[in-house]
Amino acid sequence: MIDTAHFQTQNDSSTERLLAEIAQFSVKSDHDGCFPEQEFALLRNSGLLTITLPDHAFSFDQSQTSDLLQLLKSVGRASLPVGRIYEGHINALYLIFLFGNEAQKQHWNNDADENLFGVWNTQDAAGVEIHDLGNGRYRLSGCKTFCSGAGWIGRPLVTGKLISPDKTGWQMCIIPTEKVQAIQADSSFWKPLGMKASASFRMDFTGIEIEEADLLGAPDDYYRQPYFGAGALRFAAVQLGGAEAILEETHRFLKEVNRTDDPFQSTRMAEITHLIETGNLWLNQAGANHDKWAGTPDATEKLLAYANMTRTVIEDICLRAMQLAERSVGSRGLMRPGVLERVHRDLTTYLRQPAPDAALMSVGKYVLNQQNTRTLWD
């Protein structure tokens, strides 16, 4: 078990062994309908499922966002599907930290070791509604799509339109899956190019009944800023891990085929390397800015702009790194079951996050609303 009280994401032998094992298992998990069960058994045994809880290494009540982003990046480097699901687990725990009452925090934090959490927000055509039945009981109806982890998530955080005479809005709830009827999963929806092992199925919540204590926060807390928008930093960190995996595998391939003396290969490797280093600099600065600005209401727009810049830059870095790697390894290096072929598919799919144009536009709007450009990030 990793000493999570003094966890390091770089140059730590136990951590590197863990990530290497996850990477090895990820080869077998790359199938339709598969879930990385062995990989998450490793994460559970290592203590990383609870690392953000109080009195743990990356507790949310400490200012350690840069370190957490580096952890997410490291898991993404080992396996992008694992990184995606792990990021959802961390996201749910963060929302509990932000919006849960003390009893809920204690209850759900105690669940975090044995149960995977996930955040399922993407609406199906009909969407999800949460109907107030009275006497502290609620019944769900409707479906969500892109539910990463599907039936393997023991504590899904689901959002829906609250239908109640007392309050309305977009409500979060956490479903105790062992206490309710089975959530119906439709795996036929999930036929992706990559990220197969993320098992992002369509889930039908019709007929699920929950209690008042299962509701998290007030209506519309889910979209409260800067927490919602700044969450882009977490998936960007996992994506950068995929780009690091591409660098590692391209480096390994070129040495294996004895192409290291080719000046064109040297040039491409130099460019991929400086792209990855640029991404790490952005990630670390964004984490530091998050800790500095998140608790300051006047800095919300600034934090969101910086998070969207980081997301956009890292997407560009990943796309460019993939293109350079393709040129370096050619068709031979992209054959199945090669690592680069799988990472390429996974990263291509994972980069397709919602509203990239709107994210970029919001940065420009923020800049144009300032009096000058000399003090944008002061």
Q: pLDDT per residue over 134-148, tens digit each?
A: 999 999 999 999 999
Domains annotated for the chain, with CATH where assigned, are 4-116 (1.10.540.10), 119-218 (2.40.110.10), 225-368 (1.20.140.10)
Burial per residue of 254-276, b for 16 or more beta-carbon CB atoms within 10 angstroms, e otherwise:
beeeeeeeeeebeebbeebeebb
Cβ of 281: how many Cβ atoms within 10 Å? 11
How much is the pLDDT for 8? 57
How much is the pLDDT for 4? 53
**Which parts of the chain sit beneath pLDDT 50?**
5-6
User: What is the 8-class DSSP label of residue 371?
Assistant: S
CB 154 within 8 A of CB 111: yes
Q: What is the token pair recorded at 14?
A: 């136990």
CA nearest 57: which of 14, 11, 5, 8? 5
Q: pLDDT per residue over 157-199, tens digit each?
A: 999 999 999 899 999 999 999 999 999 999 998 999 999 999 9
CB 97 within 8 A of CB 58: no
How much is the pLDDT for 335? 87
User: How many Å apart are CA 79 and CA 69, to the nearest integer?
Assistant: 15
CA distances from 134 to 130, 131, 212, 216 (A): 12, 9, 10, 17
Cβ of 222: how many Cβ atoms within 10 Å? 21
Q: pLDDT per residue over 60-89, tens digit each?
A: 999 899 999 999 999 999 999 999 999 999
Q: pLDDT per residue over 124-133, tens digit each?
A: 887 999 999 9
Task: Give the CA radius of gyration of the chain.
Answer: 21
